[in-house]
Amino acid sequence: MSTPPTVSAPVVRPRPTLPPPLRRAGSALSSLSSLSSLSFLSFLSVLPIVAVVVLLGLPVSPDSAAAPADAASGLVVLCAVVQTVRGARRPLPRTAAVVFELPVVGIAVAAAGALTTGDALAGLVRYLQVFVLVPVAVLLLVRDRRGARLVLWSLVGLALWQGAVGVHQNLTGTGALYQGADIRAVGTFGPSDVLGMATVVAFGVVAATGLALGTRERLERVVAAGCAVALLVPLALSFSRGAWIATVVACGAQLLLAGVRRAAKVFAAAAAVSVVLVGGLGVGAAVLEERLTSVTQVADAPDQSVVDRYTMWAAAGDMWRGHPVTGVGLKAFPAHRDGHASLALSSGSDTAGAGQAFRRQPLLSPHNQYLLILSEQGLLGLLTVAGGWLALLVCALRRLRRSGRLVWDCALPVCGLLLWQLVNFLYSDIGGPSTILTAICFGLAAWWALARDGAAASTTKPGA
């Protein structure tokens, strides 16, 4: 018998091994490369949101049908749709889908009860834009903490720009009319939207405060704290009592969450800065004192603006009692106002200054978003729309409590912005170009509280 040929085993040459320092360097370079790619994608994804914020720095004509930022919000929604289709994945987790689908029911029912087809379409588009479409788009476009922080810093930058314009208006007497003088800081929004600059600056104060309390980088903490303190000046010169109250509540909550000791130090520093700015430099001291005093005199000696507000609040409650389930219909408050308001209600508010002629501004809403929803959409709208806001707040605070302090650089400012908006809704409602920031605020809160990918990446525990 012939012996089968012997097949020699292949020679396996050992792979060359690198010294430990070179292996660590290679691993670091690989991680840095992937991190740079992720950072670039995060930056690219949130660019449409930042573009909307930047466009709010442009002056808006009071007669224009839509602000540039409102038009750009459609681009934000389109980018979110394209990204979702390209990713070929389920866009929203179940909780987020429920939170943003329920308001559609209440809004659609209220639109069906509108007085005219034009009012139904206008109200439906506006409510869906602010409370559903743009927030969902922001939720999808913000990939991680880097993207969220970029949006937050863009809010601070917008606030600094609008605040600088407002301070210049006050010092030069070119602002909106207030007590016979053109001294009210309104930024580029004009006297027809006197609360626009106050909203933008307050967002900047809250975002900067949260960044200063949450970040671990010393330089960023100092810069954010300086921005928050500097923005207190234009916020004061806006003479918006509702924005003041909401800012105190939101910043106070952020400070308490960060720690009582740190809160005491920051409160002491803020009080010292306020004394220097108002008392030492005389920044509108007399007018500010009168405006601050009026906050506690709304029941004893209210001014006409407070009387009008209380009268419209009572009218909104009367409308709801007549239509408790579905309300009077979207954008129907002005048509039913005079039939439910007392004779104490004035015919409108006077607006002038900041480059615009004198005009009489009609009172088209109760200046309370909750009462506006209750009167126009009834209990159904209040439970579906405002109930979603409450769910966002609860989920955001719960995630904040469970997360580590390493991620508070975006968690604190996002929760603060949401809390500010919900408190400010007690004294204001949607309307004007700055309303698009409300949609971005809800979107950031939804990303932190509900997002599947972003929230999971953001709540990494220290040492993980």
Round to whole Å and give the CA distance between 33 and 20: 20
Length of the chain: 464
Tell how far CA 70 is from the center of its chain: 15
Structure tokens given for 396: 């955001």
| C-alpha–C-alpha distance, residues 60 and 226, integer Å | 29
pLDDT digits (tens), the chain, 464 positions: 455 555 444 544 555 554 555 454 444 434 334 334 446 777 888 999 999 999 999 887 766 656 788 889 999 999 999 988 887 566 778 888 888 989 999 999 999 989 899 999 999 999 999 999 999 999 999 988 889 999 999 999 999 999 999 999 989 988 888 877 888 889 998 888 888 999 999 999 999 999 998 888 888 888 999 999 999 999 999 888 889 999 999 999 998 888 777 666 666 666 666 555 555 545 555 565 565 555 555 555 566 777 888 888 999 999 999 999 999 999 999 888 888 877 777 766 667 666 676 677 777 788 899 999 999 999 999 999 999 999 999 999 999 888 777 677 889 999 999 999 999 999 888 888 889 999 999 999 999 998 754 444 444 443 33
> What is the secondary structure of 401-420 as a DSSP string?
HHS-GGGHHHHHHHHHHHHH
What is the Rg, in whole angstroms, of the alpha carbon atoms belonging to the chain?
A: 26
Q: Measuring CA to CA, how many Å separate 62 from each of 120, 169, 192, 331?
A: 23, 18, 7, 19
CB atoms within 10 A of CB 119: 17
Q: Are the C-beta atoms of 167 and 185 separated by less than 8 Å?
A: yes
Residue 43 Cα distances to 29, 72, 136, 376, angstroms? 21, 18, 18, 40
Strands 181-184 and 356-361: unpaired
Single pTM value for the model: 0.84
Which of these, 421, 424, 409, lies nearest to 258 by C-alpha position?
409
Which single residue is written with the structure tokens 């009167």?
375
How far is the CA of 427 from the CAs of 87, 210, 271, 421, in angstroms? 41, 23, 25, 10
The structure tokens listed for 8 are 């020699």
For the record, the structure tokens of 401 come out as 């409590």
d(CA 464, CA 253): 28
User: 119: which 2 tokens?
Assistant: 């009012």
For residue range 296-315, list pLDDT tens digits in order.
555 555 667 778 888 889 99
Q: What is the pLDDT of residues 83-122, one digit of tens each?
A: 888 875 667 788 888 889 899 999 999 999 898 999 999 9
Helix H or strand E segment including 422: helix 408-424
* Rounded Cα–Cα distance for residues 295 and 16 (Å): 76
How far is Cα 320 from Cα 327, in angstroms, rounded to an integer? 6
Nearest of 433, 422, 454, 413 to residue 129 by alpha carbon: 433
Q: Which of 211, 41, 34 is nearest to 143 (CA)?
A: 41
